[in-house]
A and B are shown apart, each in its own frame.
Chain A
C-alpha cells in the first residue's frame, strides 16, 4: 500500500525564466519560485494499479520523482506499508522500483552486468543475485541477449533490461513514469504484460501515461493532476461518472474543463 498526502514542491526560477515569462505568467509562479506541485494526494492499495494522468507540464514527473526520492518534497507525506519514507530516503529506495521511458542503461556493460550492478548497489549478495536474476531472465525471456553490450541491444531488449533492473531488488511498490512513451507496439506489450504480472503478485503499481487505452486495460484507480493540484482521485468507474462520458478521453477532458471553471 502506498499513500501520498498533500505533496508540495517548488523550484527556484532562473533570471532568464523571469524575464521571458513576464507577459504570460503561469499561475504557479510567485515570489521567484515555480510551484510545480502544489497539492497532490492519492493512494494505491495492494494489487491495485493507479494511472496518473494530466496534461504535459502538470507536475506528473515531479510527483513521481518525489515518490522515487530523486527529489525531496517541500511538504506532504509519502507512506509505504505504514512507513513514512520522506524522512528516510535510503529506506524508501529499497522499497521502490522506478522506471521511466527515458532512463538508460550503461552502454558498455552487458545486459546482465547492468542488472547485476544495480542488484549489488541494492546490497544483495551473490547467491541472492543469481537466484533473482535467473528468475527475471526466465520471466522476461532475456536469455538470448544477456551477454550483449547494452549499446548493441534493440529498443525492446533495452526496455526488458530496464524492467529487470527496476525490480531486481523486489520492491514493495513500482513507479513508472510514462513507461510506454516512444516505444513500438511489441515493446509496449512487454511493459503491459510486466505491469499485469506485478498486479497478480499484489505489488501496487503507479504509472503516468497519456495513453488512456492502457489505463482502461490495467488500472483500478485513476488520479488526475492539473497545474500541480490533484483534481480527481477515484476508481475507473467514478472517473467515467464524474467525467460524464463512457469514453475515457472525453471523460478526462471534461474533468479538466470542470476544474478550470471552478
Chain B
C-alpha cells in the first residue's frame, strides 16, 4: 500500500499541472489576484473621493449660506453657465457640461414661515456605484437645514442644549457584549471556510482524476491490477495520495494566507483583524485542521470513486463540475446570515464543518458540538471510503 502511495506522490510531484493547482495557485496566484482586486478597488474609491464636481444651482439666493458652502467646498466647482429648470440641468448632465445641478424652488426661510417643507431637486447621474456627489450635497443641505432649525428654535426662545434634546428626545446607545473577535469572526469566519473547503475539494480532484481515469486512459491500471497487491491496498494507496494533496493544498493556503496578511499588515493598518485573530491560539488552528481532515477524506473518496468510474480524463472532468456544485450548496447555506451551529445544522455535511470553523474563529465554539461533528464526518468518510473500495473491486466499473 505504501509502495503505491509513495510512487503516486513521486509522480504527482513531477507533474507541473498538479503543482500549479496545489502550490502556485494558493501561494502566489490567489494573493496576487486579491491584491490586484484590492488595489483597483481602493484606486477607484480614491478617484471618486478626489473628483471635483462641476455644479450649478438654480435660484441661489433662496439659500445663500448653502450656496456659499458649495462654493467654498473643495470638491465642488461652480459652472460658468446658469441653468434654471430640472430639464435644462438634465440635458446639461447628459451633455457632460455639469456633474450635478440643484434646483431650489422657493426661498427656504419663507416656506418654513408658512410651516411647510422645501423640496430641493438634485440632478445627477446616479449609475456609478462609488460616487460621493449626492452624499456631499446632502451633507451641505443638512447643514443649512440645521441652520434654519436653530434660527427657529432661537426665535422661540429654546436654548441650544434644549434644542438637542427636543430634536432627539431619546438617544439609543449600543452596549455590545460581543468582543472584537466575535464581531470580526462573524464576518471573516463565514468567508474562511468558503475559501478553505473548495480548496480542499480542488486539491483532491486534480490528482484523483489522474490516479483513476488517467491510469485507465494510459492503460496502466490493468497492469497495476495484475500485481499481487490486493485491490483494497491499491485503493487505499491512491486514497491516501489524494487525501495528502487535498490537505496539503489547504495547509499551504492557510500558511501562505498568514504570511501574506503579515506582509500586507506592514503596509496597511490591519490591526483590527490581526488583534482579533491574534487571540486565536494554536489549539484553535489545529482544531480547524483536524475538522478538515475527515472532510478531505469525504471529498477524496468521492472524487476517487468518480475517477475510477470514468473511462477517460475528460469524462472524469465532466463529473467534477456537478460535484463541486454539490459541495458548494451546503457552503452557501453556512454563509447565510445568522446561520448558527445547532443540532439541526450539525447533521448537514459540509455545512456543519463550515459553521464549526466559523464558530472557532469567533471563539464561541461549543467543543462538544465540534466533537460530534468530527465523529459524524469521520463516519461519513469511512462509509464513503468503504464504498470506494467496493467500487474498485467491481469489474463493471474497472472495465467499462
Contact = CB atoms under 8 A, between A and B. Distances in A.
Contacts of B227: 93, 118, 121-122
A90 B219 contact: no
- Nearest 4 A/B pairs, CB to CB: A104-B219, A104-B218, A121-B227, A108-B14
A178 B228 CA distance: 23
B395 interface: yes
Nearest to B223: A103
Chain B: interface secondary structure? helix
Contacts of A98: 223, 226
Chain A: interface secondary structure? mixed
A85 to B, nearest CB: 11
Contacts of B225: 69-70
Interface of B: 3-4, 7, 10-11, 14-15, 218-220, 222-230, 395-396, 398-399
18 contacts: A69-B225, A69-B226, A70-B222, A90-B228, A91-B228, A103-B220, A103-B222, A104-B220, A104-B223, A105-B220, A108-B11, A108-B15, A109-B7, A109-B10, A113-B10, A121-B3, A123-B228, A149-B14
- Output the residue of B220, B222, B226, B230 with the most chain A CB within 10 A: B226
A206 interface: no
Contacts of A165: 223
Interface residues of A, number: 33
- Output the residue of A70, A96, A149 with the most chain B CB within 10 A: A70
A120 B399 contact: no
A182 to B, nearest CB: 12
Nearest to B398: A70
Given A98-B226, A102-B219, A104-B218, 18 more contacts: A65-B399, A69-B225, A69-B226, A70-B226, A90-B230, A93-B226, A93-B227, A93-B228, A94-B228, A103-B222, A105-B220, A106-B220, A108-B15, A109-B11, A113-B10, A121-B3, A122-B228, A165-B223
A68 interface: yes
A117 B226 contact: no
B49 to A, nearest CB: 53
